[in-house]
Structures are given as structure tokens and as C-alpha cells.
Chains A and B, each alone.
Chain A
Amino acid sequence: MTPDATPTDASLDRRVAVESIGPGSVGSSMRRGITRVLRLGLAAAVVLLLVGGILLYARGGPGATPRGFGSGLAPALAQGSPSGFLYLGALVLLATPLVRVALSSILFARGRDWAFTVITVVVLAILLLTVVVGSRL
């Protein structure tokens, strides 16, 4: 193991890395925002999936399963259906990258980086199209 693997050095490297972002890169506020969105989305999804998993074992069956884009989700959750929690956990998980892109376009627009505002809006549009197409299958 190299000496630079110690925690103290790693945190120093991390600080240097954030400061060394030169022109052409994005600012540290976007890095912080994206990191936060990813961690929050992940944490919420994992809690929901764990609750669903524990309920699945406790009840011995999946219960009412929501279909499509959240239809039947509220009743399933109200009944404490294991599949309801698993489904919502999956939705939160899959929505996280979408929220991350939305946040990026807001921050690019705020930084007046129009090219990248357009690029991230295009990505967002493709994802929304995916949701629309998927719910019509």
C-alpha cells in the first residue's frame, strides 16, 4: 500500500482536485450539488427497498403490485404491500439521474453556459420522452 492511501492524504488530494479545476471545467458548486442529489436519492431508495424487503419476509408474499407509472401505488403503500415499497424504491432510484440532469441544467443556465444548458435540456427531454413512451407500452 502506498503512503498516499492514508485518509489524511486522500482528503488533501480531494481538496486539491476540487481547486485545480481550471477553465473548461465546471465549478465546485455543481460537483457538490450532484454529489448531494446522488447520495440523497440513493439513500431514500435504499430505505424504501429495505422496508419492502423486510415486509416481504414478514408477510411471506409480495402483496398488491403497482403497475405502470405509479398507478395503484398509493393504495399499495397504504396496505403496507411489500411490492408497493419496492416499486416506489425503484422509481426513486431511477428518477435520481433525471434530477441530477435537471439540477445541472439549472446550474449551467445560472453560469450562463448556454451550450451546456441546451445539452442538458436535450438529455432531460430524451428521458422524459422515455417515460412517456414507456407508460404507453
Chain B
Amino acid sequence: MDPLVVWGSTTPTLVAVVLLLAIAFLAGSVGSLLGLGGGTFIVPALVLLFGFDIHLAVAASLVSVVANSSGAAASYVEDGTTDLRIGMFLETGAAAGGLAGALVAVTILAARSELIVAAFVPIVVLGAVLMLRKRLRDAGEPERPDRLARRLRLEGSYYDARAHRTVEYRAYRTGVGLGLSGLAGFASGLLGIGGGVFTVPALNAFMNVPIRVATSTSMLMLGLTASAGAIIYLLAGDVVLPLAATVVLGMLVGSFVGTRLKPITPPPKLKLAFAAVLFGAAALMALRAAGVLS
């Protein structure tokens, strides 16, 4: 059945709405727990389960990621685990990348859906690999923070509710972080995934920000990144509104669950789960790109 008919011009079946709400709920909870945003799961679900063209899946996903971000970030900003300075500094790169990625998708790649499906796989796998980097050499930071980090005072502290202590940290390698944020924005605009796939590794594995702060800061950033992309899709008329609204509502409820789970989840599990779910999402899309799943 043509999904556009189901969601666009006639009323969708109740079963389809409930199924999509459930998937969006799961995507929103895992997405806000890991700082990824739910788009990484919603895009494969819309393409593989519901048969949407990837452009429409990306557009609906970006809108829902903004809701996922606002819902989760409100809690994370309030509980003090979001680093507003580091986040807003990196947002310069992420917003520019988000604009560029969405523009490429709606102009150059407008008729090349298969290229976007294929691009999903290496990009998401790269995010998972970058995330695992820190685990291999967790031997502390010998370097000094660079000049920009010192100039902008990119450092902070948060209260770790599990360990009952205040953890202090400083940001390193701001250049790499900014570059990866630009890439995150680009991937977000192109693939509808919000960019957490690169901002979390950028913050944690490269800039040396603790994983809990990295995931919270990423949740704040990706609302802005996704918004930059979503505006392009909305104005281009690519957002199937009833579809987007359904995903938004499911994901928003999911974000409330994810933010409750995060303070009680041990950090090493956060990192491993991050890499594992990315490999899973990439594997599904790889099957699609290879023609195994239609």
C-alpha cells in the first residue's frame, strides 16, 4: 500500500498508528538515554516497516527529533548534566552542517533515495567506531586543553547521583569537536538522525567530557541541529504532517522515560549500548541497501 495514501490524504488505520506510536516511544526512550535522539531508529523503522521513501522518513524524523530533544533537554538542563557552554560552542558547527545536509538532500539528492539509504550505513557505523575509541585507551589525558578551550572556559562539573560526588572535567581538542559537530549536523540533515551519532563521540571520546554530560549536552544540541534541517524539509513540503505528529507524540513520551533511566544507568553500559544500537540500526539499513529487505 502506498504510505502516502495511508498517512497523507486518508485516515491511517488504528493498528498502524498504535504500532508507530510504540516504535516512536521506544526510539525516544533509547534515544534520550544515549544522547542519540530517536531519529536513528525511526528512520530505519519508517523505511523498512512502513515502506516510506527515505526523504519522507528523514523529514518526519527530523521534526520528531526536535520534540525528543526539547523534552529530554529540559530535564537534563535542569538537573545540571548539560554543559551549556560546550554545547552552544559546538552548535555553531552543528547548525551549519544541518543546513548543508538538508540542502544537499532536497536538491542534489532529491531523486536519489537509494544513495541516502546507502549513506546511512557507513555514517552510523563510523559513529559507533568513534564511540568505542575511548574505551581502548582510557589512560587519562596527558595534554593540556587547547587555547580556545581555555579562552572560552570550556570546563565544568556535575553531580554524579550514583556515585554521590561532584565530577569536574575540562574539554580538550575543541577543533576536532567542532569538526565532528559539523559532520554531525550534515549527517543529521541528510539522514534525519539528529546528529547524536557524532556529537556524543565528539564530546566523550575526543573532548574528554564525561559520558553523562556528553549525552545530556548532545540531547540539547540535536534539537537545534534537527530544527535547522527540519525547517528546510517543512518549507519544501516534504513533511507528511499526520505522520510527523504521530512520531512526535510517541517520541516525546519516550523521552520522559529515557531521562528517568539515565541517572541510574552505569556509564560503561551507556557507552556499550550506544555502540551496540548503532551497529544494529546500521545492519538493518545495510540489508535494505543490499536488497535483502525490500
Chain A contacts to B: CB under 8 angstroms:
1-2, 4-5, 9-10, 13-14, 16-18, 20-26, 30-32, 34-35, 38-39, 41-42, 45-46, 49-50, 52-53, 56-57, 60-62, 65, 67-69, 82-83, 86-87, 89-91, 93-98, 100-101, 104, 115-116, 119-120, 122-123, 126-127, 129-131, 133-135, 137
Q: Contact check: which of A16, A24, A61, A120 meets B10 at CB < 8 Å?
A: A61
Q: Does A60 contact B11, Cβ atoms closer than 8 Å?
A: yes
Q: Does A31 contact B63, Cβ atoms closer than 8 Å?
A: no
Q: Does A42 contact B70, Cβ atoms closer than 8 Å?
A: yes
Which residues of A have CB within 8 Å of B227?
Answer: 94-98, 127
| B145-161 interface (Cβ within 8 A of A) | 151-159, 161
Q: Does A30 contact B63, Cβ atoms closer than 8 Å?
A: no
Q: Contact check: which of B9, B77, B155, B264 meets A34 at CB < 8 Å?
A: B77
Chain B contacts to A: CB under 8 angstroms:
8-11, 63, 66-67, 69-71, 73-74, 77-81, 83-85, 88-89, 91-92, 95-96, 98-99, 102-103, 106-107, 151-159, 161-162, 164, 166, 168, 223-224, 227-228, 230-232, 234-237, 239, 241-242, 244-246, 248-249, 252, 263-264
Which residues of B have CB within 8 Å of A46?
Answer: 67, 248-249, 252
A9-B157 Cα distance, complex, nearest whole Å: 19
A5-B89 Cα distance, complex, nearest whole Å: 32
Which residues of B have CB within 8 Å of A45?
Answer: 67, 248
Q: Does A83 contact B241, Cβ atoms closer than 8 Å?
A: yes
A41-B248 Cα distance, complex, nearest whole Å: 13
